[in-house]
Amino acid sequence: MYLIVGLGNPGFEYRKTRHNVGFMVIERWAFNLRIALKEEGLAKYSLVQFEDNRNVILMCPLTYMNLSGKAVKAYKACYGVRAQNILVIHDDLDLPLGRVRISRNGGSGGHKGISSIIEALGTKDFPRLRIGIGRPRFGEDVVDYVLSPFYEDEWEVVEKVLDIAIEGCELFISKGIDFAMNKVNSKNLAKGGR
């Protein structure tokens, strides 16, 4: 059993914000798979069975970012998912837009959603898929920046990045984390990237 968690905030006003890029990945993936995410309790989610009989939960916590761990812990317990089979998708200020990085584990890097999950699970040992959102261009406050929509000229790259992230999730499930890291971490759509 796999649990793929996209982080974000519920509510229309957050829908296209940088902090919700994890939600965007799960929502697009569900759309591509022609499945509906149902809102129930602490999350909107769907249980999917891939062709190789791997069971996967696609999930977006509805607890707001800073309490993401509450939902992840509940679904982990309910479905008996091992920590190494939980992949958390989130935004990363320290990566430029156009970069996607998969890692086995790590600290929170100051990300409140990841901090909440580490605290709730009592471990840092769960995989992450980090999506670069870059730093503010115009001197915006960081909190305002992450809670604002992408700049107009960024959306073309965002669309491609969402597809790369979905590919990374699928490879994580079907081929394992090493294969997914090798395939995804080398891709670079950032300005000036190769």
Three-state secondary structure call for residue 10: coil
Catalytic (active site) residue 90 = no
* DSSP3 helix / strand / coil % (the chain, rounded to 5): 45, 20, 35
Distance CA 87, CA 168 (A): 10
Distances (CA, A) of 144 to 1, 140, 141, 173: 37, 7, 5, 34
First to last CA, the chain: 36
Distance CA 93, CA 143 (A): 11
Annotated active-site residue in 19, 76, 128, 130: 19
What residues are labeled active site? 19
